[in-house]
Amino acid sequence: MSDAPVLSRFIRHRPAVGSVLVIALLGFGAVFAGGLRLPDPIRIEMADKFAPPLTKGHVLGADELGRDVLSRLLHAGRVSLTVGVAAMLVTVTFGALLGTLAGYWQGVVDTAPLRVTDAMLSFPPFFLLLALAAFVRPSLASMTLIIGATSWMDVTRMVRGQMLALREREFVQGARGLGASGGRIMVRHLLPNTVGIIAVAATLSVARAILLESYISFLGYGIQPPLASWGNMLNNAQSYFTSAPWVAIFPGITITLAVTSFNFLGDGLRDAFDPRHVMSPR
Amino acid sequence: MLVLVSLVGFSVLHLAPGGPAAIYAMTPTMSAEDLDRLTRELGLDRPVPEQYARWVGGVLTGNWGRSYRDGRLVREIIVDRVPATMVLMVSAFSVALGLGLFTGIVSAVRQYSLFDHLLTFGSMVALSIPTFWLGLMAIYVFAVLLGVLPPGNMGTIGADFSLTDRLRHLLLPAATLGVVMVATWSRYTRASILEVIQEDYIRTARAKGVAAGAVIVKHALKNALIPLITLAGLQLPLVFSGALVTETVFTWPGMGRLFVDSIGYRDYPVLMGLLMLTALLVVVGNLLTDFIYAAVDPRVRLA
């Protein structure tokens, strides 16, 4: 498969292209949040408490401690996007590794991880995640690891399925016939053929991780204030939103925007990598 | 399978630092000896494998243990909460099923129409909205701004039981929980029908002059529904997760809220009971879908 048709198929998926722009914008905002001459995201200014949008120099208003909502949103983007991407790396690395090993070596190596995968999949995902999150001291690193530790199962199954299909193909038998070792076949011949599904899984798991982070932080077991994350900005929102709805509305829109974009991106990648897949309408 | 599930659940709870004793330790009136005695009485000073063995022994004889919080039987506490969650899940599920199938079919039949584009876009957004935020917004619009629906609880506190009151309280949480499900069902129905429509027997039906509507309902839908049975089983864990969040936002007295509350109290027996019960329901649900699948589709044989 050459790169050109993949790229052109991807560009034809308009929502996916739009999503790239949105993600770029959110990423840009997160990276340059410090340089945009916005109010300090953690400075408390009681005089500005619940300032509505477009007043007192707060474009999107101020929260219950008079902190600037826009500035907090952009800085929170750093935290939420970092957790999203880092958790994705954990998920995909572990999931792909286990899936490859299980799919290539059958027998005990296959059955044991598969049973654990099935057991993990039997729990409602959020119950397990919340139980872990509540007992571990919350930090960026712990959030990333916890989300990664409870999300790898789907990747494992997908990669394993692909491996099972690939390992019987002629080029693998050819490599084996030429005396290539199991490790070499896996790394040089099988893994490159799973790049497509791994890329799709990676994108979708960023979306999932951002969503999960927001759920945990909303319940108060995630990233702790004063450090802002999109989820913990909504943590107190329920108590205030009768008087200051903007405190609740904007973080929610941002999360939805980010997650939708990553989901569309994954959709576009799937269409691009797998031409047989029914093309979703553009 | 369930043994493995229980092992995973138990290890997650017990290997995490800061057990129930840590909560008691924060109570200023608690002396060191009391703490010691309590830890010993609850069996928390024993090695984790031994605690696990005791717990399994209890469960096998129908004893799920007692809550650390108020000493009530775990089984009773949980059974109290099951109906509320079931009402919420079943109502959300049935509405979502109907709506999702309908929109999915229309979307597939009118592929690439404006309706199809809007629906595909809308369902992706619906899949991406954080459920708790959707709930908050629903409360804001319908309870705060319009004041037409109650913001939470299962019924008006102190009022006598009345069906309309219950339904009014059910509407917002069920709708919130249902949104994600409608989106999923609609997407899968659309994909499934589009696939079936290309089959030869559909062309045959059309060629022999069956009306367009009848082709879809009688010939396409029947076959398209088969893979969707599996979806119902696969969705169950996600629906539980959604219910947890929805119950928290709407102060709905179900299992999800019990879980969140119990986490705050480090109430291991209750948490463990809930984890096992939900996992059990998921396993049973999957088994059930397999059976239905085999019953509906004669090509599938049970191994």
For chain A, give the percent of residues with pLDDT over 70. Answer: 93
Judge whether A115 lies within some domain. yes
- Per-residue model confidence (pLDDT) at position B159: 67
Q: What residue numbers bound the domain in which A130 lies?
A: 6-277
Judge whether A282 lies within some domain. no
Question: Which residue type is seen at A248?
Answer: A
Burial of B223 (0-12, 13-18, 19+ CB in 10 A): middle
Quick: pLDDT tens for B113-148: 888 888 888 888 888 888 889 988 888 888 888 877
For chain B, give the percent of residues with pLDDT over 70. Answer: 84
Q: Please, what is the average pLDDT of chain B?
A: 80
pLDDT band at B42 (very low <50, low <70, confident <90, very high): low
> Residue B142 has which token pair?
């319908």
> Residue A68 has which token pair?
């600037």
With an 8 Å Cβ cutoff, are B16 and A237 in contact? no
Considering only CB atoms, A128 lies closest to which of B12, B128, B191, namely: B12
Provide the shortest C-alpha distance from residue A277 to chain B (in Å). Answer: 10
Provide the shortest C-alpha distance from residue A168 to chain B (in Å). Answer: 24
Quick: pLDDT tens for B281-301: 888 888 888 888 778 777 766
Provide the shortest C-alpha distance from residue A120 to chain B (in Å). Answer: 7
B residues 16..75 contacting A (CB < 8 A): 16-18
**b/e for A259-270, b at 16 or more Cβ within 10 A?**
bbbbbbbbbbbb
Cα–Cα distance measured from residue A191 to residue A196, given in angstroms and rounded to the nearest whole number: 10
- Per-residue model confidence (pLDDT) at position A278: 45
Judge whether A1 lies within some domain. no
What is the ipTM metric for this complex? 0.81
Q: Is B201 on the interface with A (CB under 8 A)?
A: no
**CA angle (B38, B262, B142) in 5-degree steps:** 155
Q: Are A217 and B130 in contact (CB under 8 A)?
A: no
Quick: pLDDT tens for B249-280: 888 888 888 888 888 777 778 888 888 888 88
Residue among B301, B4, B288, B303 nearest A111 (CA): B4
- Per-residue model confidence (pLDDT) at position A91: 92
Spell out which residues of chain B touch residue A255, defining contact as CB-CB under 8 Å: 129-130, 133
Q: For chain A, how many structural domains are there in total? A: 1
Cα–Cα distance measured from residue A102 to residue B65, given in angstroms and rounded to the nearest whole number: 38
Tokens 């506490």 locate to B77
Q: Is B126 on the interface with A (CB under 8 A)?
A: no
Residue among B121, B231, B203 nearest A18 (CA): B121
The values of phi and psi at residue A55, to 5°, are: -120, 155
Q: Is B121 on the interface with A (CB under 8 A)?
A: yes
- Per-residue model confidence (pLDDT) at position A259: 92
- Per-residue model confidence (pLDDT) at position B158: 65
- Per-residue model confidence (pLDDT) at position A281: 40
Judge whether A251 lies within some domain. yes
- Per-residue model confidence (pLDDT) at position B231: 81
Average pLDDT score over residue span B79-101: 88
Provide the shortest C-alpha distance from residue A49 to chain B (in Å). Answer: 20
Burial of A117 (0-12, 13-18, 19+ CB in 10 A): buried
Cα–Cα distance measured from residue A241 to residue A247, given in angstroms and rounded to the nearest whole number: 7
- Per-residue model confidence (pLDDT) at position B35: 66
Average pLDDT score over residue span B70-93: 85
Judge whether A166 lies within some domain. yes
Average pLDDT score over residue span B60-71: 73
Judge whether A140 lies within some domain. yes
Secondary structure of chain B in the HEC alphabet?
CHHHHHHHHHHHHHHCCCCHHHHHHCCCCCCHHHHHHHHHHCCCCCCHHHHHHHHHHHHHCCCCCECCCCCCEHHHHHHHHHHHHHHHHHHHHHHHHHHHHHHHHHHHHCCCCHHHHHHHHHHHHHHHCCHHHHHHHHHHHHHHHCCCCCCCCCCCCCCCCCHHHHHHHHHHHHHHHHHHHHHHHHHHHHHHHHHHHCCHHHHHHHHCCCCHHHHHHHHHHHHHHHHHHHHHHHHHHHHHHHHHHHHHHCCCCCHHHHHHHHHHCCCHHHHHHHHHHHHHHHHHHHHHHHHHHHHHCCCCCCC
- Per-residue model confidence (pLDDT) at position A206: 92
Quick: pLDDT tens for B245-255: 899 888 888 88
Q: Which secondary-structure segment (H or E) carries A55? A: none
- Per-residue model confidence (pLDDT) at position B29: 60
- Per-residue model confidence (pLDDT) at position B21: 55
Spell out which residues of chain A touch residue B5, defining contact as CB-CB under 8 Å: 119, 122-123
Spell out which residues of chain A touch residue B109, defining contact as CB-CB under 8 Å: none
Spell out which residues of chain A touch residue B16, defining contact as CB-CB under 8 Å: 131-132, 135-136
With an 8 Å Cβ cutoff, are A248 and B136 in contact? yes
Q: Are B249 and A238 in contact (CB under 8 A)?
A: yes
- A269: domain CATH number? 1.10.3720.10
Q: Are A124 and B241 in contact (CB under 8 A)?
A: yes
pLDDT tens digits for chain A (282 residues)?
445 577 777 777 778 888 888 888 888 888 877 776 677 777 777 777 777 777 777 777 777 777 888 888 888 888 899 999 999 999 999 998 888 888 877 767 677 777 888 888 888 878 888 888 877 778 888 889 889 888 888 888 888 888 888 887 888 888 888 888 878 888 888 888 888 888 888 998 999 999 999 988 888 888 887 788 888 888 877 777 777 888 888 888 999 999 999 998 888 888 787 655 544 443
pLDDT band at B109 (very low <50, low <70, confident <90, very high): confident
Q: Is the pLDDT of residue B49 over 50?
A: yes
Quick: pLDDT tens for B159-185: 667 778 888 888 889 989 988 889 888
Taking the C-alpha atoms of A148, A154, A158 and A163 in order, what is their torsion angle to the nearest 10 degrees? Answer: 60
- Per-residue model confidence (pLDDT) at position A90: 93
Q: What pTM was estimated for this model as a whole?
A: 0.83
Cα–Cα distance measured from residue B9 to residue B7, given in angstroms and rounded to the nearest whole number: 5
Cα–Cα distance measured from residue B238 to residue B241, given in angstroms and rounded to the nearest whole number: 5
Q: How far is CA A171 from CA A96, A162, A166, A168, in A?
A: 21, 15, 9, 9
Strand partners, B73: B66
Provide the shortest C-alpha distance from residue A176 to chain B (in Å). Answer: 33
With an 8 Å Cβ cutoff, are A119 and B117 in contact? no
Q: Which residue of B has its CA nearest to A208?
A: B128
Q: Is B284 on the interface with A (CB under 8 A)?
A: no
